[in-house]
């Protein structure tokens, strides 16, 4: 597999502030890479650097083999970008927005016509051609934004929180689209706060306090040592009225984390205390589970917070 995106020891500082600290990653061609992390952790800065907008302070990277320091102008022509704000002109129609971005990417004449037709069909937005972008619903705006971001047939597309504030049906529709495009070889770099979206990604990275603290497939991360501290086990506790007993469970000796998942409590427990826990909760059904992505990120975050204190 060839790499579409690489970052090697990427470090970006603004004065005394280190926005990105020694991040190395690789995204393969046709892969959908999920990038997670709290707001302000450096996600957008990394995207800007990979698009060639920001020169890294140290380290470097490539997009489709082009160097992000030297070939910034080239990179922009081969990369698509869609932000949470969508970057649409609300007083312009759907067709005018698409035509504008086609022009901006230097696509003219017959080629422009053909590409417009392709993205319209792909996103299914054709019937809204003459509607002002501002009058579209969130889901349709998002599809229009994607249509604009891929008008120049980019091989790599960065999506910065593309589904924030979008209803679940529209979210699923967008992901179906992403899978279709990735099937055609387009590489996606997607930042999101939604764990279910992250779990759809081939591989995920988690950035916290400017550092990449986890990187791999979901299955790999579930076995990641830092996410499963030695001597602990993740349990799913089946108990009546979990919200009323959650605090009590948290107080039990050996319980490191506990949170509610529907009608269950998920807990990270010292393995040698499981028997004691069971005896304190005689009516509960206890079984061992693998951590969810959220579990993993929460555990990692706590670990770093403890270490920095």
Partner 1 sequence: MSHLFRGLMPVCRKEFLHIVRDPGTLVFALLLPMLQLLLFGFAVDTNIRQIPTVVFDESQTQDSRRLLESFASSDVFQLKSYVTSKEEMYESIRAGKVRVGIRIPADYARHLQDGTQATVLVLVDGSDSNVAGQAISTSTGVTLRQSLLRILPDGKMPIEVRPSVLYNPATRSANFFVPGLIAILLQVMTILLIALSVVRERERGTLDQLNMTPVAPLGLMTGKMIPYGVLAFLELCAILLVMRLVFQVPIHGNTLLLLALSLPFLLTVLGLGLLISTKARSQAEAFQLAMGTVLPSVFLSGYIFLIENMAPIFKAISRIIPATYYIRILRGIILRGAGLKELWADAAILTVMGCAAILLAARQFVRERTH
Residues in the chain: 309
| Shortest CB 89 distance to partner 1, Å | 6
Q: Smallest gap, in angstroms, from Cβ of residue 72 to partner 1?
A: 10
Backbone angles phi, psi at 294, to 5 degrees: -60, -45
Query: Taking the chain, what is the end-to-end CA distance rounded to the nearest angstrom?
Result: 41
d(CA 218, CA 146): 26
Coil, strand, or helix at residue 247? helix
Q: Which is nearer to partner 1, 107 or 268 (CB)?
A: 107
**Which residues lie below 8 Å from residue 95, measured CB to CB, with a gap of 6+?**
116, 129, 130
* Chain contacts with partner 1 (rule: CB under 8 A): 14, 51, 53-55, 73, 76-77, 79, 81, 83-92, 96, 99-106
Both tokens of residue 257? 């984390």
Q: Which residue, 7 or 245, has its beta carbon nearer to partner 1?
A: 7
- 273 DSSP assignment: G
**Least distance from partner 1 to the Cβ atom of residue 99, Å:** 8
**Cβ-based nearer residue to partner 1, 16 or 73:** 73
Identify the CA nearest to 159 among candidates 117, 21, 12, 171. Answer: 171
Residue with Cβ nearer partner 1 (148 or 174): 148
* Closest distance to partner 1 from the beta carbon of 178 (Å): 18
Q: How far is the CB of 80 from partner 1 (least distance, A)?
A: 8
How far apart CA 212 and CA 9 sit, in angstroms, is 10
């Amino acid at each position: 597999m060839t790499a579409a995106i690489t970052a090697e020891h990427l470090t970006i500082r603004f004065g005394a502030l280190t926005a990105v600290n020694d991040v190395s990653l690789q995204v393969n061609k046709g892969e959908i890479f999920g990038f997670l992390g709290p707001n302000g952790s450096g996600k957008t800065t990394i995207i800007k650097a990979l698009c060639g907008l920001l020169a890294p302070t140290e380290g470097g990277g490539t997009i489709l083999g082009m160097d992000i320091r030297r070939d910034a102008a080239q990179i922009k022509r081969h990369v698509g970008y869609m932000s949470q704000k969508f970057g649409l002109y609300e007083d312009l129609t759907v067709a005018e927005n698409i035509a504008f971005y086609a022009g901006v990417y230097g696509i003219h004449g017959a080629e422009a016509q053909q590409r417009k037709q392709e993205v319209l069909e792909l996103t299914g937005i054709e019937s809204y051609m003459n509607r002002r972008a501002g009058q579209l619903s969130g889901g349709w705006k998002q599809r229009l934004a994607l249509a604009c971001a891929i008008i120049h047939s980019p091989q790599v597309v960065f999506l910065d929180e593309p589904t924030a504030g979008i209803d679940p049906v529209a979210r699923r529709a967008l992901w179906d689209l992403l899978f279709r495009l990735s099937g055609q070889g387009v590489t996606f770099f997607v930042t999101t706060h939604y764990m279910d979206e992250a779990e759809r990604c081939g591989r995920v990275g988690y950035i916290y306090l400017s550092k990449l603290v986890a990187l791999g497939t979901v299955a790999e991360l579930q076995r990641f040592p830092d996410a499963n501290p030695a001597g602990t086990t993740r349990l799913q506790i089946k108990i009546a009225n979990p919200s009323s007993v959650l605090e009590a469970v948290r107080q039990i000796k050996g319980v490191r984390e506990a949170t509610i998942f529907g009608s269950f409590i998920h807990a990270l427990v010292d393995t040698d205390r499981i028997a004691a826990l069971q005896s304190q909760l005689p009516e509960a059904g206890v079984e061992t589970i693998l951590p969810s992505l959220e579990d993993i990120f929460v555990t990692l975050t706590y670990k770093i917070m403890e270490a920095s204190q």
